[in-house]
A and B are shown apart, each in its own frame.
Chain A
């Protein structure tokens, strides 16, 4: 075993191992090579974009490529003028004691999550400015590569000194990979799959290509999530892989299946309640799980009718939780649904593989399009002075206009202010 979490151990060590678009990789490599050759044009590299896309990982991979240590100042460090001067400033012009034999640059200075660096003027009224100006000084005078990561590039630019810092840096945006047909995407997934299989085998476990693909599909582009899933499945390899996968919440894997088994097969009220006490999912999830798996357990139609009668009573109470905002009703729903077995007279003896509620699956799959639809309706509502619900009745009209010609479609998009995804929803 390589430590407790594979995630930490297998953080990509080289730029080729990190997951990013090739054009970004080429730009970053060019910057790294400029330091290796000693022909630096930009002292700093700005990596910006949403969290979790590998900006910090990339910074560490760059240091690895240069074979130098990282001097990191992140959001948990104080980053006013004085501390930036004392740490990043000092580090930027002096050699690193851990790489004294190294020619050329001697360390990478990483200013992580630079969004929150202090840029306010000091209170004593002198010309003393905050951390941003000191960072600018560091970048101007540094003899070592500086990497800055941030989420909000435009917010950073607005700060005092922000645009000067940007002008002295090479800026690269990290973007989410959504274009599934993209060559880079496929290449990255292939690379990822090979790496994951390697990780699993290095730790003495086995996993099939297909299972890896399913896990990647589910988590992409969150590599951290992918590796966590792979690790938990590999370690719990005696339990069925698909059982682990079908269940959405990572920690409750055993409990929900146990509860299903106890409700349908054990038929022991006390035991079911005991298990339900430790559950970490919602009562509505429980009802959905029973709903989805009931037809497989109750094969006699009469049993099915009776069981659904009980379950629907539970569902009524769930509805009242929302309607009356009275959360105590949840207990009724839970207790009633736990008694579903009372409706089933012939207990199923065959093996049943409990399935993840298809409703939750399809809801999560359609999440993107549902929110796009909501936004589109809101925008239409705004120009037609109706509520977004009222705008539903107008959809056919815009759809008809959009389908007449491409020009009309574009004009419509501009008029209402729709993006392509929202337009797609309207045209169907």
Chain B
């Protein structure tokens, strides 16, 4: 029998992240902990989330299990919780039962074969930048309403996020000294969907630093960790496909 106990903070993080990309997801549970991979229907955004079993308050899984869930339904449950609650999740037949304080509620589990787990492509780019989440969020917000895409430019000594349309433009420039880390030998640039980036950054409530790596016309990888502690919290990465230039 699968029985999990998880803090509302961590569960909310996982659900918010999934919600940026998909409406259905399959949670994989094994001896290491929880793992979820999901891709949006346009194959433009992908997420890979991991949470160690040590980060659960209680983790009772017989070897392995899979829980296919409707993300919207999970969101509804999260709304019922108060911030200090712990949530107990129990798999019962074809249902997932939640216990939060005085409330218990169950939702149907989806057919495991109907929710596919994507194969995560092997991404590799040498250039990366580590920056504070708040900083990136400001740059993205400046670009909002200007265009659907944002162009990220990395140079050996600076990082830029630029957006332009026929009538408007916006740009954020961060010097090497403003950044936590910058590793770039030659200039690289690529454009990514702004809407997805904004939604992702918003959903990462507890992450402080983000590691962005990309190269010319190549997917962007954003690594995140919601807690400074190496074991605690939710970690993972987000992949975004680059805009195809003519």
Contacts and interface: CB of A to CB of B under 8 A. Distances in A.
Interface of A: 69, 71, 86-88, 90-91, 93-98, 100, 106-107, 143-144
A97 B46 contact: yes
A106 B217 CA distance: 12
Given A71-B41, A87-B42, A94-B193, 10 more contacts: A69-B43, A90-B42, A93-B244, A94-B42, A94-B44, A94-B241, A95-B242, A100-B219, A106-B244, A143-B244
A86 B42 contact: yes
Given A97-B39, A97-B121, A90 B44 contact: yes
Contacts of A106: 244
14 contacts: A87-B41, A87-B42, A90-B42, A91-B42, A94-B193, A94-B241, A94-B243, A95-B44, A95-B219, A97-B239, A98-B121, A100-B123, A100-B218, A106-B244
A97 B241 CA distance: 6
Contacts of B79: none
Contacts of B105: none
B166 to A, nearest CB: 15
Contacts of A98: 43, 118-119, 121
A97 B43 contact: yes
Given A100-B218, A100-B219, A93 B243 contact: yes
B246 A97 contact: no
A95 B217 contact: yes
Contacts of B45: 97
Contacts of A90: 40, 42, 44, 193
Given A90-B193, A106-B244, A143-B244, A97 B219 contact: yes
Q: Is the interface of B mostly helix, strand, loop or mixed?
A: loop
A282 to B, nearest CB: 37
A96 B218 contact: no
A97 B217 CA distance: 12
Contacts of B239: 97
A88 B42 CA distance: 7
A69 B116 CA distance: 15
Contact of A107 (B43, B119, B121, B217): B43
A14 B82 CA distance: 56
A90 B196 CA distance: 11
A96 B246 contact: no
A98 B241 CA distance: 10
A27 to B, nearest CB: 25
Given A94-B243, A96-B241, A100-B121, A71 B219 contact: no
Instruction: For the complex of A and B, list the 9 residue pairs with the smallest distance between their C-beta atoms, beginning with the closest.
Output: A91-B42, A143-B244, A90-B42, A95-B241, A94-B241, A96-B43, A94-B44, A87-B42, A87-B41
Nearest to A86: B42
A143 B42 contact: no
Contacts of B41: 71, 87
A71 B43 contact: yes
Contacts of A144: 244
A63 to B, nearest CB: 12
Nearest to A101: B121
A85 to B, nearest CB: 9
Nearest to A73: B41
Nearest to B190: A95
Residue from A69, A88, A90, A96 whose CB has the most chain B CB atoms within 10 Å: A90
Contacts of A143: 244, 246
A61 to B, nearest CB: 20
Contacts of B246: 143
A91 to B, nearest CB: 4
Interface string B186-204: 0000000100000000000
Interface string B19-49: 0000000000000000000011111111000
B55 to A, nearest CB: 27
B110 to A, nearest CB: 16
Contacts of B40: 90
Contacts of A95: 44, 217, 219, 241-244
Contacts of B219: 95, 97, 100
Contacts of B217: 95
A241 to B, nearest CB: 35
Interface string B116-132: 00110101000000000
A204 B221 CA distance: 47
A71 B40 CA distance: 10
A94 B242 contact: yes
